[in-house]
Amino acid sequence: MQQPIDFLERYWNHTSFRPLQEDIINAVLQNEDTFALLPTGGGKSVCFQLPALMRDGICIVVSPLIALMKDQVNNLNHKGIKALAITGGISFSDLDTLLDNCIYGNYKFLYLSPERLQQDLVKDRIQQMNVNLIAVDEAHCISQWGNDFRPAYKNISVLRQLHPTVNLIALTATAKPKVVEDIITELDFISPKIFKASFERPNIAYMVLDTDDKQYKIEQILKKHKGSSIIYARTRRMTLEIHSYLESKGFSSLYFHGGISNKEKQDHLYAWMHNQKEIMVATTAFGMGIDKADVKNIIHVNLPESLESYYQEAGRAGRNGEKAYAVILKNKTDEQTLKNQFLNVLPSIDFLKLVYRKLCNYFQISYGEGQRSVHEFNFNVFCKTYEFNPTITFNALQILDRNSVISLSQQFNYQAKLQFLISNQNLFRYLETHKQFDIIVKSIMRTYGGIFENLLKLDLNLLSEKTSLDEETIIKSLKQLNKDEVVEFQFSNTDSEITFLAPREDDKTINRISKNVEQQFKLKEGQINAVIAYVTNTSKCKNRQLLNYFGEDIKIDCGMCSVCLSKKNPEASTTIKSITRDIILQLENMPLSSRKIIENLNYEQSLVLKTLQVMVENNILEITLTNTYKIKHT
């Protein structure tokens, strides 16, 4: 009889399990309901994939993340294992065929979102399947206290009714103790086997560094700690800017964001995974499901939106057990920026009610009707019609989507893409004879960095505001530029689609979800405050701060985070007086920039900057027109 280790060697080419994996797999094989808390990099997918392979039948995997579903299905298919995912945009007939394949086609894995469990067709077909295991990935989504709460996760209990004798495994990488209790209760576990790995990653040095010049600081870190690295930035434009900067400094880097083609994504990922390129500058979606053992540095250019997401992203470093670095770079404005991006754009319950009413009016849905009706939707036109703020309105629609009031397909995020095909010089020559395009072309050039090198998504609403032209005129002009081979312009007017999942009852509809929504707002505020507390606390070991957040209490400092190093380093307690003396010596011959002064002195950057500020305030130094410091002579 074959053992789990035989399957591990055959399909994963590993000769030993990671901590807790074998115990979890054996619990599943003994038909126990199982909860597995394995921090990122712990190998969660093996814990349900391997036992499912050892049994006859198919494993139902519930996951909220389309990208992760596709990635796992591709990996399984690559191993010769039949797996499929039911994602958005599938027609009824295609869905019917896929579900039939799961019943009759010897498939081992069916991945689906929790929302799919509301469909009668899906439930009927699952009941006919020979289900050998139910796996709930990202299980923290079932708890209203968890990161990324998804009310649709409550539907998972229907699987237990359809297959009451089949055991269930719930998996997550980040769950605080209260969330773990919620998961076990909501999934109706009886005498579950609970496995929790420690959140501690003793080989990762967690650093929070203050700097006014983040690109230069990145350069310093990468020179000091050479090796495979991921740099996380919040916007696509920022990924391109940092990539260009690093390339100009001789580093080997690539970029990765949602605006590049699938082929570019695959090429960039392959080059980075195989160490043909050392550094990947990416938005935070990058890295999910990717297991690269030798990542030396994870650098966050912006403050993360939660410690849960930060822990997962930082945990992509040092999976080979060697020392690695997880660095957050911050400056004076970052805290307020974080609040602006994630708290100040949350819609109030009253605004949520208003958006829902206007949405119903927009599609002329009568009171008590509209359930399961499908409508084409132009987001920009909707916002303009009712003079709504696009960011807050989009967040409101997402809340309605997450709480199963509507189903929103977000194609409008990708409706227009453009890249200039001719050089800057030739473009200006073209404009000399085509002056009607001047304002549009120049607005695009000044708004989108890297548009000569990459096919970038255009915000037509923003261009309309900048040029004072309507979107129709802009689209018509861009189509002509495409015809003249000045640009590559991709435009899809399918926009987006909204399905109403509940009949219209105006305020009553929103009142039913308001408690959940307010709880999520409270949770989000708590997460933002926790991030700010983490990056501003300079007295407690960073490793201990993170572990405390996840419910682990350890008494020993890590000895290698930014806080521990500042305590060890006698220079950290150096008086401003001695730094002042050394700065004056540096500036005796010529004015110098703050960067040059920091390079020349062997002190912490934050101490030097603080001293410079004090010296300017006390009229010891003055700042020149070229932003250098010089001694002020009286």
Structure-block tokens of residue 181: 């209790």
Query: Residue type at 282?
Result: A
Q: Which stretches of 487-626 are assigned E, i.e. beta strand? A: 487-491, 496-500, 621-623
- What does the alpha-carbon distance between residue 317 and residue 227 come to, in Å, rounded to a whole number? 11
Same domain, 109 and 220: no
Residue 336 lies inside a defined structural domain of this protein: no
Tell me the mean pLDDT in the region 259-284: 89
Residue 532 lies inside a defined structural domain of this protein: no
Q: pLDDT: is 498 or 577 the higher one?
A: 498
Same domain, 287 and 429: no
Q: Give the model's pLDDT for residue 415.
A: 65
With a pLDDT cut of 90, the percent of the chain lying above it is 61
Same domain, 442 and 582: no
Structure-block tokens of residue 130: 């020979």
- What does the alpha-carbon distance between residue 590 and residue 349 come to, in Å, rounded to a whole number? 60
Q: What is the DSSP string of 319-378?
A: TTSS-EEEEEEE-TTHHHHHHHHHTTTPPPHHHHHHHHHHHHHHTTPPTT--TT-EEEE-
pLDDT tens digits, one per residue of 210-229: 988 899 999 999 999 999 99
8 A C-beta contact, residue 55 and residue 78 = no
Same domain, 131 and 190: yes
Q: Where does the pLDDT of residue 608 fall: very low under 50, low under 70, confident under 90, or very high at 90 and above?
A: confident
- What does the alpha-carbon distance between residue 123 and residue 113 come to, in Å, rounded to a whole number? 13
Residue 530 lies inside a defined structural domain of this protein: no
Q: Give the model's pLDDT for residue 410.
A: 59
Same domain, 552 and 585: no
Partners of 159 in the beta sheet?
Answer: none
Structure-block tokens of residue 203: 């080989």
Same domain, 463 and 424: yes
Residue 259 lies inside a defined structural domain of this protein: yes
Order the strands of the 487-491 sheet from edge to edge: 456-457, 416-420, 487-491
Residue 270 lies inside a defined structural domain of this protein: yes
Cα angle 630-631-634, degrees, rounded to a multiple of 5: 135
Average the pLDDT over each of 45-59, 144-158, 618-632 and give the range with the smallest value: 144-158
- What does the alpha-carbon distance between residue 243 and residue 280 come to, in Å, rounded to a whole number? 8
8 A C-beta contact, residue 116 and residue 87 = no
Q: Which residue has the tokens 């819609």?
A: 347
Residue 229 lies inside a defined structural domain of this protein: yes
Torsion from C-alpha of 424, 426, 432, 438, nearest 10 degrees: -40
Structure-block tokens of residue 235: 């916007």
Partners of 300 in the beta sheet?
Answer: 232, 328
Structure-block tokens of residue 9: 């060697």
Q: Give the model's pLDDT for residue 187.
A: 92
Confidence check: pLDDT of 503 > 70: yes
Residue in 321, 297, 89, 271 with CA at minimum distance from that of residue 207: 297
Same domain, 20 and 138: yes
8 A C-beta contact, residue 630 and residue 587 = yes
Tell me the mean pLDDT in the region 69-75: 88
Please give the residue range of the domain that contains residue 424: 416-491
Confidence check: pLDDT of 402 > 50: yes
Tell me the mean pLDDT in the region 397-419: 78
Residue in 634, 388, 381, 608 with CA at minimum distance from that of residue 498: 381
Average the pLDDT over each of 70-74, 88-92, 281-285, 486-490 and give the range with the smallest value: 88-92
Q: What is the DSSP string of 383-417?
A: HHHHT--HHHHHHHHHHHHHTTSEEEE-GGGGSEE
Across the chain, what does the average pLDDT equal?
89
Residue in 415, 396, 551, 617 with CA at minimum distance from that of residue 496: 415
Q: Are strands 487-491 and 416-420 parallel, antiparallel or unpaired?
A: antiparallel
- What does the alpha-carbon distance between residue 304 and residue 24 come to, in Å, rounded to a whole number? 31
What angle, 0 to 180 degrees and rounded to 10, lies between the N-to-C axes of helices 44-54 and 21-29? 40
- The CATH number of the domain holding residue 257 is 3.40.50.300
How many domains does the chain fold into? Answer: 5
Structure-block tokens of residue 603: 């002190």
pLDDT tens digits, one per residue of 580-600: 989 999 998 899 999 889 888
- The CATH number of the domain holding residue 612 is 1.10.10.10
Q: How far is CA 441 from CA 455, 463, 488, in A?
A: 15, 10, 13
8 A C-beta contact, residue 134 and residue 62 = yes
Same domain, 307 and 364: no
Q: Where does the pLDDT of residue 244 fall: very low under 50, low under 70, confident under 90, or very high at 90 and above?
A: very high
Q: Give the model's pLDDT for residue 89.
A: 64
Query: Residue type at 351?
Result: F
Same domain, 126 and 155: yes
Per-position b or e across 159-192, b if 16+ CB within 10 A of its CB: bbebbeebbbbbbbbbbbeebbebbbebbebeeb
Same domain, 255 and 296: yes
- The CATH number of the domain holding residue 468 is 1.10.10
Residue 531 lies inside a defined structural domain of this protein: no
Confidence check: pLDDT of 570 > 60: no
Confidence check: pLDDT of 548 > 50: yes
Residue in 53, 25, 322 with CA at minimum distance from that of residue 16: 25
Query: Residue type at 189?
Result: F
pLDDT tens digits, one per residue of 439-450: 999 999 988 888
Same domain, 59 and 179: yes
- What does the alpha-carbon distance between residue 249 and residue 267 come to, in Å, rounded to a whole number? 23
Structure-block tokens of residue 107: 């498939």
Q: Give the model's pLDDT for residue 43.
A: 85
Query: 546: helix, coil or strand?
Result: helix
Contacts of 90 (CB under 8 A, 6+ apart): 98
8 A C-beta contact, residue 204 and residue 314 = yes
8 A C-beta contact, residue 304 and residue 313 = yes
Cα angle 148-308-198, degrees, rounded to a multiple of 5: 125
- What does the alpha-carbon distance between residue 209 and residue 217 come to, in Å, rounded to a whole number? 9
Same domain, 487 and 500: no
With a pLDDT cut of 70, the percent of the chain lying above it is 96
Q: Give the model's pLDDT for residue 493.
A: 59
Q: How far is CA 516 from the centre of its chain?
A: 23
Structure-block tokens of residue 37: 């808390």
Query: Residue type at 307?
Result: L
Rounded to 5 degrees, what are φ and ψ at 459? -95, 100
Kindly calculate the radius of gyration of the chain based on its CA atoms and give it in whole angstroms.
Answer: 27
- What does the alpha-carbon distance between residue 218 and residue 526 come to, in Å, rounded to a whole number? 29
Residue 512 lies inside a defined structural domain of this protein: yes
